[in-house]
Chain A
């Protein structure tokens, strides 16, 4: 079945790095633009980053620009979020989502906690 599974979350100290992964299955991954969205504790959903289906363009939210990088590996049907210089305010559940008609498929999320 169509599925997205995130991994790579954990507890990390401020200033350190982390890589999140999102493994896709059940659909033609290379045909879909992919997004990362996060939700900090007690806050709403925040859009984080997007990578086009062919990898030709990628964009990030201002809050993570210069620190986070989105990438994809179609051979592994996976999308990644490289997070550098992490801050306490990056603490959140991170979701990956497929762009079909809207963000039509979501993973269950992976939790990132930035704390000393």
Chain B
């Protein structure tokens, strides 16, 4: 069981919007920033969001992040077939003194 909880899968049609949640606790997301990664099999993970809601240069504004309490959220609008991938949240856990990933969410663009 992952310390951070994500839905195993989400799906939506091209052009639509999805939201992926990441539920944590007061020892991780509640006090440490979350980041989000896109991962395609056989490739290096790619940073999408850092510090809860900031996008690195080169990441389109279709991707957004937010945090509320002990949960973080990744939003993707204008879905494209190329967005099909696994998405992971990550935060530092102060109690564990370790990084913790969510279990990952597989996005299917129908």
The interface of chain A, by Cβ under 8 A from chain B, is 35, 37, 39, 44-47, 50, 59-62, 95, 97, 101-104, 106-109
Contacts and interface: CB of A to CB of B under 8 A. Distances in A.
15 contacts: A35-B99, A37-B101, A45-B37, A45-B39, A45-B45, A45-B90, A47-B98, A47-B99, A101-B51, A102-B35, A102-B51, A102-B56, A104-B47, A104-B50, A106-B45
Contacts of A101: 50-51, 54, 56
A46 to B, nearest CB: 6
A44 B2 contact: yes
Given A106-B44, A108-B44, A47 B49 contact: no
B110 interface: no
Given A44-B2, A107-B44, A109-B44, A59 B51 contact: no
Contacts of A107: 44
A6 B88 CA distance: 22
A59 B39 CA distance: 24
Given A44-B101, A97-B45, 7 more contacts: A37-B101, A45-B90, A45-B104, A62-B96, A95-B45, A101-B54, A108-B43
Contacts of B102: 44
A34 to B, nearest CB: 12
B16 to A, nearest CB: 25
B47 A102 contact: yes
A19 B39 CA distance: 25
Contacts of A106: 44-46
A30 B37 CA distance: 24
A35 B90 CA distance: 12
A103 B45 contact: yes
B84 interface: no
Contacts of B49: 102
Nearest to B104: A44
Contacts of A50: 99
A108 B43 CA distance: 6
